Structure 1
């Protein structure tokens, strides 16, 4: 019946909700914004230069520079209470986009 003990390929299920809540302070505190679409410039859209914590539904990629320029950080579903939780050494997040692959 085609069943075995390994996976040869997989595809992300369509219809996965993408939502991102950004916070101006650590521990999910301070002013907050919600995003459901890609953002090439956090400064232009939200007037922020830093993101100190976030809640993630779906997969997202943070970039330290505008227009999706490296360094980048892949965030899976969950809560990130400080930049080091997503692997960054500082809270600079200047663009982000949904991770769909």
Structure 2
């Protein structure tokens, strides 16, 4: 049985880091399962504050898994939704499809313009920053986000093969490090297929990690459409950061 509740939480942020919880009925923003004897008895919403206390509460409720918080308004204001697992439709979580700022608590995440992980994608990871105060920071063109999923960490040494033509043909480039300008390094910016042998990568249409981008997880991509692109052009590529 799933019961949606709003949680008011107080915590001691001293060494004991104990947490006291009182529950009241309310409309949910997001859900956390309460486990008793390994069975889910009810589902509770948690709205963690942006503070040391918030980190304590997130660890208490979410454990060591990934978490990203979406905000309706810029600069981490307005309604918020803490996401700890894949969400194919944000509207079902009573969150508007308007997202103007994001905080990455842990892990790496992809937001999509469309439901069910469709449309243009936007990566949120810990590369250089954990906070995105407006959608320009994640290279968005609008504040429309309809679905979110976690990027699964792949711990083998980072390696990717990029191919000039579909079907793993044409010129081949092997990478094990970030490349901010593919055409200056290899005199080539047309890549139509790829094999990810290790790690997780994000490929950008433009140089210096700009423009539309695509998350490439460990698998073979026979054609650029398989990673979500509409053209076989890449200007830069880097490894996704999880920590």
Q: Taking CA–CA contacts closer than 8 Å with sequence separation of 6 or more, which of the two structures ends up with the larger relative contact order?
A: 1
Could you tell me which residue of structure 2 aligns to residue 78 of structure 1?
219
| Offset of residue 70 of structure 1 | 2.0
- Residue 55 of structure 1 pairs with residue 186 of structure 2: no
Measure the CA separation in 2 of the matches of 1:69 and 1:100.
Answer: 17
- Number of residue pairs matched? 98
Measure the CA separation in 1 of the matches of 2:170 and 2:220.
Answer: 15
Matched ranges for 1:82-97 at <5 A: 82-97=223-238
Task: Give the TM-score taking structure 1 as reference length.
Answer: 0.86
Distance 1:9 1:25, change over 3 A: same
List gaps (5 residues or longer) in structure 2. Answer: 1-36, 41-61, 66-106, 108-152
* 3-state SS of 1:20 partner: strand
Bigger radius of gyration among the two: 2
* 3-state SS of 1:30 partner: strand
Distance 1:4 1:37, change over 3 A: farther
Task: Give the TM-score taking structure 2 as reference length.
Answer: 0.37
Distance 1:87 1:8, change over 3 A: same
Provide the alpha-carbon RMSD of the alignment: 2.1
Measure the CA separation in 1 of the matches of 2:203 and 2:38.
Answer: 37
Could you tell me which residue of structure 2 aligns to residue 35 of structure 1?
175
* 3-state SS of 2:164 partner: strand
After superposition, give the CA deviation of every residue in 1:34-76 in whole Å (9 maximum; x if it has no partner): 0000000000111112111010121000000000002110110
| Offset of residue 4 of structure 1 | 5.0
| Offset of residue 16 of structure 1 | 2.9
